[in-house]
Chain A
Amino acid sequence: MDIVSQLQRQFIDYSASLHHEGFVDDQFTQLQKLQDENSPDFVVEVASLFFEDCEKLINNMARALEQQQGVDFKQVDASVHQLKGSSSSIGAVRVKNVCISFRSFCEAQNREGCLRCLQQVTHEYSLLKNKLQTLFRLEQQLLAAGGSIK
């Protein structure tokens, strides 16, 4: 079917562009591989878990960093570590990279830097979320049209 192959191409292109632009890496591909008949929504499930996690963590960090004095950097650091772990699991490279610099600011107890990083993380995260949601939408369309991802 013309529409199917078109959708398929679109999907593949988009997926490749995500790789290309460095939003996701090999790990995301691995995740996609893990998805099979037994767990058809594996990637979406993991991704939504990730988004939830992210939002929670970002809120946590934002709250912690709002304190004018006595910012609990340990707590922030723990959150960043979590975020880093999740992002590397899902293959969100850019988020992960921001997390790495975020951690170094945390270690240096640099509130300004932390706030800047938090902004970046939030930005990267929402960007990624958009991208992935688009990808999932494409995937659904593809599946609905009767195509397969592979």
Chain B
Amino acid sequence: MGLKQQQSHHHSVAVKVNEQMGTKRGYTFIQANRAWLPKFLLLWVMVMAFLSTWIYKKMDADNKVRRKEVLSSMCDQRARMLQDQFSVSVNHVHALAILVSTFHYYKNPSAIDQETFAEYTARTAFERPLLSGVAYAERVINSEREKFERQHGWTIKTMEKEPSPIRDEYAPVIFSQETVSYIESLDMMSGEEDRENILRARATGKAVLTSPFRLLGSHHLGVVLTFPVYKSKLPPTPTVEERIEATAGYLGGAFDVESLVENLLGQLAGNQEILVNVYDVTNPSDPLIMYGHQNQDGDLALLHESKLDFGDPFRRHQMICRYHQKAPTSWTALTTAFLFFVICLLVGYILYGAAIHIVKVEDDFHEMQELKVRAEAADVAKSQQFLATVSHEIRTPMNGILGMLALLLDTDLSSTQRDYAQTAQVCGKALITLINEVLDRAKIEAGKLELETVPFNLRSILDDVLSLFSEKSRNKDVELAVFVSDKVPAMVKGDPGRFRQIITNLVGNSVKFTERGHIFVKVHLAENAKPMVDAKGETCLNGGSDEGLLISGARQFKTLSGYEAADERNSWDSFKHLVADEESRYDASINMTVADEASENVTLMVSVEDTGIGIPLIAQDRVFMPFMQADSSTSRNYGGTGIGLSITKCLVELMGGHISFISRPQVGSTFSFTAVFGRCRKVPYSDAKKSNAEDLPSGFRGLKAIVVDGKPVRAAVTRYHLKRLGILVEVASSVKIAASACGKNGSSCGSKIQPDIILVEKDSWLSGEDGSLSFRMMDWKQNGHVFKLPKMTLLATNITNAELEKAKAAGFADTTIMKPMRASMVAACLHQVLGIGKKRQAGKDMPNGSSVLQSLLCGKKILVVDDNMVNRRVAAGALKKFGAAVECAESGKAALKLLQLPHSFDACFMDIQMPEMDGFEATRRIRKMESQANEQMNGGLDEGSARKGEWHVPILAMTADVIHATYDECLKCGMDGYVSKPFEEENLYQAVAKFFIAKPISDS
């Protein structure tokens, strides 16, 4: 069972951790940028497109460069070969020229005639494949023309085959190859081109070329090569004149450039790919085409020019190559780039898909988590509803059981039977308590519990709680005390009900487990905890041995009761620092409060110290787990379920604090918790008075008292309570000291403290010096030193009759102040002792039994509002039984009418579910009415003379519903409490006691 519990606890922790993790995970990179994902994808695609374009361009450029290189190398190669072939031919012509000069001129008579020349040239034509034919023209000067014509037997003709007109010089062809025999006897000088060629050739002595023209025979483009033939041997460096002079004739040949190039290209690889043009660029502005077509469609973008040197320095030629076709689209580059792009696209898409998937999964995860939380919440809500229903259903039969048991107990039973029945009743009550607690806890876990923030008086709540346990503690002879630091504000804002629950739980636990010693509740500001720790350190330094004082052979500790406590911080050594601290700051308190009030909240540190059996060390770490007790024997010995502390812990955490404890087995435990409360700023009077303001009489202001107590902590507690009543307190550690203090007073004529009352702790009184005090008193009286004899009162946790008699004899007042002390109770006792104010019965802190109820309700006028006749009658009957005067109203409206101010009702019991106007609405209206009246009254009357209370009739809801939600709503609309229907004595008492107990004293 325990393990299970633990697991579920862990489970809820795990859920919380998960939630935290979840929120953290929510901020991963992907999640945070989820809106950007498509943009990322787009960006990626764009970058990749750009990249692939770049790749394509680069590859394309590479291709182009390569193509260009190929072109240029091919072009160069062609040019070089053309040049080579050309020069071979030229060389051959040169050789022919030498032949002519050798055999025609140096031999006399000439060894060459036309026939020989034709024969020779025809046979050597293979050497000159490029030359369509060669011919030799002799230089003939006009004066020699006739001689020459005669010699050869024909006249010199022009190109047009006309007889040549007279010129200075002629160059008639005398020898010709057969292929060009038609030019025999033609004057080469008659053609403009040829003439220029001849002149240039003979001047330079080198082979010269004409510009390209259509050859006569083949209509191919061609050039004529002219080579000079000199008669005599020239000097090594002949001048132009010498050359001209020596010129004998000219050897010429027609180069068929077109066929030449055609042939050449035909021999080379890659002929189809490129286009070759050969130009004569002697005049750069007008290039003359030698080969190829002028208007060719080819790749005009890319061309390569190669220089050609045909050996004529005057003429320049060049070869221009270009590709036949435009550069083919580079498929490789295109494919590569495209594939690259596609791959990147896919990668991008995969990444995007993954991211989207992650986001989706995370979203799903969050959603699931939320659903899970919701499902859990629904589960909790359901189980809570279930619990509420079940508890309701259990309560009904349990009431039957309890009622029957009560009936049974009323009958004559043997002692064993009675014991059985009582045990059964106790168990039944415990069961109902348990159900309520489980309900509470379920509610806290479901987060349904909301703390209210209303101003309340912390001190009076502590007093109330203590009074609840006073009976039990008194029976056990355990001292129960409360101390609230002065610095704790009188009113704080918070949830009084829950605070009371916490304190009740802790004190209840302590009472349960403590058989001797004390239970001490202490409240101070959390900031004060530090000086206390410091103080503790100090005492250690000063030698911690003084912790235990050896008094009458037993180790005595400076705690409230003298028993050792688990947490030494509560011992007097540190406690006195706290008290002293407060006193030292008392003067500065005005400043302090101003400073303190600057902050909105106040953190209180509450500790509950007991000297009980403590918690075994092994059990200490699971104290706050539900249903965990020290060991299974605990519940057998002490009862209880162990759910209380876990609820307490939840509540403390809801209040913004935390709880911890120090426990030593067989020594005691100290539970301390902090809680944050709101500070009340200048609370309006009506508000402060509303429900739980401290209704303490002011009649004791200015009185002086001496507290005689050997134990400083206890004395401080007593002083605290007296101080609340406005009494000035001096502490004396023994009767003797007190007496001497008084005595001094007496002698110095009351210039110092003149005590009105002396409160003596029973222990101090019993410790031997009983006689002396009264003796002294008598002494004073006789001497007349004292104007008014101080009253003497005994303080005791419990007192036997014998002791009481003895005390009376010793001069103490009849009324003994019984512990635990509560300010209101002390006040009542002092009233009796001092005779101030109305005398009222003081000790009415016996909270059980119908007799008490009777005393509470007796004479009270109560209004019962219920639409159901039967219910009304029953409720009225029940209340009448306790002596109340009951009036009935059958609807909210009727109640409103009856409660018109002023009225004399002391309380009102209101049914909630009524037709027309339900209980909530009626209460709201009543409260509204009252507050209006209060305003008027406060405006009209001086506050002091105003009736003590204001108009605030206690309204209690009557409901069959035990669920707390209804209760909360009751409080919300201004009700003071609720009683379950049908009435139960105890329940009725608890509800009624709240405002009927405080009343009598304040009602003066």
A in complex with B: yes
Q: In the complex, which of the residues B404, B870, B880, B915 contacts A89, with contact meaning CB atoms closer than 8 Å?
A: B870
Nearest-neighbour CB distance to chain A for B398, whole angstroms, equals 10
Interface residues of B in 894-922 (CB under 8 A from A): 913, 915
Q: Does B399 contact A (CB under 8 A)?
A: yes
Query: What is the distance, in angstroms, from B429's C-beta to the closest C-beta of chain A?
Result: 14
| Chain A residue contacts of B868, Cβ below 8 A | 53, 82, 85-86, 89
A47 to B403, CA, bound (A): 20
| Complex CA distance for A86 and B868, rounded to whole angstroms | 6
Q: Which residues of B contact A29 (CB under 8 A)?
A: 403, 407
Docked pose: A27 CA to B867 CA in angstroms? 19
Contact status of A38 and B880, CB under 8 A, knowing A26-B400, A88-B982: yes
Whole-angstrom CA separation of A88 from B871 in the bound complex? 8
Question: Which one of A36, A52, A82, A90 lies within 8 Å of B874 (CB-CB)?
Answer: A90
Q: Please, what's the 1-or-0 string for B865-881, where 1 marks a CB less than 8 Å from any CB in chain A?
A: 01111110111011011
Determine whether A34 belongs to the interface, using a CB cutoff of 8 Å to chain B. Answer: yes
Central interface residue in B407, B868, B870, by most chain A CB within 10 Å: B870
Q: Give Cα A38–Cα B854 distance, bound, in whole angstroms.
A: 15
Q: B487 at the A/B interface (Cβ < 8 Å)?
A: no
Chain B residue at minimal CB-CB distance from A78: B915
Q: Compute how far the CA of A82 lies from the CA of B868 in the bound complex, rounded to whole angstroms.
A: 6
With A and B bound together, what is the CA distance between A25 and B398 in angstroms? 11
Cβ of A49 under 8 Å from chain B:
yes
Complex formed: what's the CA distance from A56 to B897 in Å? 27
In chain B, residues 397-425, which have Cβ atoms closer than 8 Å to a Cβ of chain A?
399-400, 402-404, 407
Residues from chain A with Cβ under 8 Å of B867 in the complex: 82
Which residues of A (79-123) have their CB < 8 Å from a CB of B?
Answer: 81-82, 85-86, 88-91
Chain A residues within 8 Å of B407, by CB: 29
- Complex: chain B residue closest to A52, CB-CB: B869
Interface string of A3-36 (1 = CB under 8 A from B): 0000000000000000000000111011101111
Which B residues are in CB contact (< 8 Å) with A136?
A: none
CB distance from A1 to the nearest CB of B (A): 20
Flag if A42 contacts B877 (CB, 8 Å): yes
Q: Which 6 A-B pairs have the closest CB atoms?
A: A26-B403, A86-B870, A85-B868, A89-B871, A34-B877, A89-B874
- Given the interface contacts A34-B878, A34-B881, does A49 sit within 8 Å of B400 by beta carbon? no
> What residues on A are CB-neighbors of B881 within 8 Å?
33-34, 36
Chain B residue nearest to A54 in the complex (CB): B870
A81 adjacent to B960 (CB under 8 Å) = no
Q: Given A36-B881, A38-B880, A89-B981: A53 and B403 within 8 A (CB)? A: no
What is the bound-complex CA distance between A57 and B402, given in angstroms? 32
Q: How far is the CB of B299 from chain A (nearest CB, A)?
A: 95
Residues of A within 8 A of B874 (CB): 31, 34, 46, 89-90
Contacts of A52 in B (CB 8 A): 869
> In chain B, what residue has the closest Cβ to A85?
B868
Enumerate chain B interface residues (CB-CB to A < 8 A). Answer: 399-400, 402-404, 407, 866-871, 873-875, 877-878, 880-881, 913, 915, 960, 981-983
A78 CA to B982 CA, complexed, in Å: 20
> Which secondary structure dominates chain B's binding surface?
helix
| Residues of chain A contacted by B403 (CB below 8 angstroms) | 25-27, 29-30
4 other A-B residue contacts (CB within 8 Å) besides A78-B915, A89-B873 = A25-B400, A26-B403, A30-B982, A88-B960
Instruction: Give the residue name and chain of the B residue nearest to A87 (CB).
Output: B870
A33 to B960, CA, bound (A): 21
Pull 12 A–B residue pairs with CB atoms less than 8 Å apart, ordered by A.
Answer: A26-B404, A30-B878, A35-B877, A38-B880, A45-B873, A46-B874, A49-B869, A52-B869, A85-B870, A86-B870, A88-B981, A89-B868
**A105→B867 CA distance, assembly (Å):** 23
List of B residues within 8 angstroms of A90 by Cβ: 870, 874
In the complex, the chain A residue whose C-beta lies closest to that of B960 is: A88
A16 to B869, CA, bound (A): 27
A46 to B881, CA, bound (A): 15
Residue of B nearest to A92 (CB): B870
A91 to chain B: closest CB distance in Å? 8
* Bound: A97/B130 CA distance, A: 136
Tell me, in angstroms, the Cα distance from A81 to B539 when the chains sit together. Answer: 69
With A26-B404, A86-B869 as contacts: A39 and B399 at CB distance below 8 Å: no
Q: By the criterion CB–CB under 8 Å, are A27 and B982 in contact?
A: yes
Q: How far is the CA of A34 from the CA of B868 in the complex (A)?
A: 19
| A32–B807 alpha-carbon span in the complex (Å) | 48
User: How many Å lie between the Cα of A90 and that of B981 in the bound state?
Assistant: 11
Contact (Cβ within 8 A) A81 B913: yes
> In the bound complex, how far is the Cα of B874 from the Cα of A49, in angstroms?
10
Residue in contact with A49 in the complex, picked from B866, B870, B981, CB distance below 8 Å: B870
Q: Which residues of A contact B873 (CB under 8 A)?
A: 45-46, 49, 89
User: Inside 8 A of A33's CB, which chain B residues have their CB?
Assistant: 881
In the complex the two chains form, is A26's CB within 8 Å of B399's CB? yes
Q: What CA separation (Å) do A50 and B877 show in the bound complex?
A: 14
Q: How far is the CA of A103 from the CA of B367 in the complex (A)?
A: 39
Q: Is A85's CB under 8 angstroms from B878's CB? A: no
**Alpha-carbon separation in the docked complex, A23 to B866 (Å):** 24
The CA of A126 and the CA of B394, in the complex, are separated in Å by 28
- Minimal Cβ-Cβ distance residue in A for B399: A26
Give B850 Cβ to nearest chain A Cβ, in Å: 10
CA distance A49 to B983 in the complex (A): 19
Which residues of B sit under 8 angstroms from A50, Cβ to Cβ? 870
Please indicate the chain A residues that have their CB under 8 angstroms from the CB of B982 in the complex: 27, 30, 88-89, 91
Contacts of A89 in B (CB 8 A): 868, 870-871, 873-875, 981-982
Residues of B within 8 A of A27 (CB): 403, 982
| A86–B960 alpha-carbon span in the complex (Å) | 12
Residues of A within 8 A of B981 (CB): 88-89
Query: Is B400 in contact with A39, judged by CB distance below 8 angstroms?
Result: no
Q: Which of A38, A42, A53, A81 contacts B869 (CB 8 A)?
A: A53
Question: How far, in Å, is B888 (CB) from chain A's closest CB?
Answer: 12
Assembly CA distance A86 to B872 (angstroms): 9
Chain A residues near B880 (CB, 8 Å)? 34, 38-39
| A41-78 contact mask (Cβ, 8 Å, vs B): 1 or 0 | 01001100110110000000000000000000000001
CB contacts (< 8 Å) of B866 on chain A: these are 85
User: In the bound complex, how far is the Cα of B913 from the Cα of A88, in angstroms?
Assistant: 15
CB <8 Å contact, B871 and A86: yes
Q: Shortest Cβ distance from A23 into chain B, in angstroms?
A: 13
Determine the chain A residues whose CB is within 8 A of the CB of B983 once the complex forms: 30
**Cβ distance B891 to chain A, nearest Cβ, rounded Å:** 13
With a CB–CB cut-off of 8 A, which chain B residues contact A36?
881
Complex: how many Å from CA A89 to CA B867?
13
Contact B871 A85 (CB under 8 A): yes
Q: How far is the CA of A39 from the CA of B875 in the complex (A)?
A: 14
Residues of chain A with a CB closer than 8 A to B870's CB: 46, 49-50, 53, 85-86, 89-90
Distance (Å) between the CB of B140 and the closest chain A CB?
147
**A88 CA to B402 CA, complexed, in Å:** 17
Contacts of A88 in B (CB 8 A): 960, 981-982
Which B residues lie within 8 Å of A35 (CB)?
877
Residues of chain A with a CB closer than 8 A to B878's CB: 30, 34
Residue of A nearest to B985 (CB): A30
**Which single residue of chain A is at the shortest CB-CB distance from B397?**
A25
What is the CA–CA distance of A49 and B576 in the complex, to the nearest angstrom? 67
Q: Contact string, A112-144, partner B, CB cutoff 8 A, digits 1/0?
A: 000000000000000000000000000000000
Shortest distance in angstroms between A12's beta carbon and chain B's nearest beta carbon? Answer: 11
Please tell me if the beta carbons of B871 and A39 are within 8 angstroms of each other in the complex.
no
Q: In the complex, what residue of chain B is closest to A51 when comparing beta carbons?
A: B870
Docked complex Cα distance between A38 and B404 (Å): 25
CB neighbours (8 Å) of A49 from chain B are: 869-870, 873
B869: A residues at CB distance < 8 A: 49, 52-53, 86
Minimal Cβ-Cβ distance residue in A for B875: A89
Interchain nearest-CB distance for B22 vs A (Å): 40
Question: In the complex, what's the smallest C-beta–C-beta distance from A14 to chain B, in angstroms?
Answer: 16
- How far is A33 from B291 in the complex, measured between Cα atoms in Å? 145
Q: In the bound complex, what is the Cα–Cα distance between A10 and B866 (angstroms)? A: 36
Q: Which of chain B's residues have a CB closer than 8 A to the CB of A86?
A: 868-871
Q: What separation, in Å, do the CA atoms of A35 and B878 have in the docked complex?
A: 9
Contact residues in B for A46 (Cβ distance below 8 Å): 870, 873-874, 877
